[in-house]
Amino acid sequence: YAGADIAFEPGIGDIVDRVTEPGFDPDNDPDDDAFVDSIEFDPTAATVLFWMMGGV
């Protein structure tokens, strides 16, 4: 979980906290929609994480 956090911006913990908040509704709330749009996935970091986990 913590290692996978490097592949996402904001971090996975922040994403989970936000999307599990009561009333989270990106379809009808512009702030929630902007948060979803702000999530970035870093494929390079994910590849590094994959190789690190495979080498363990």
Q: pLDDT by residue (tens digit) across 27-52?
A: 999 999 998 988 877 666 666 666 66
User: How crowded is the C-beta side of 23, counted as CA atoms within 13 Å?
Assistant: 3
User: What is the domain count for the chain?
Assistant: 1
- The residue among 42, 38, 22, 41 whose CA lies nearest residue 30 is 38
* pTM assigned to the model: 0.62
Which tokens sit at 22? Answer: 């009561």
Q: Which residues pair with 9 in a beta bridge?
A: 40
Domain of 15 in residue numbering reads as 3-54
Q: What CA–CA distance (Å, rounded) separates 51 from 10?
A: 22
8 CB-near residues (< 8 Å, 6+ apart): 15, 39, 40, 41, 42
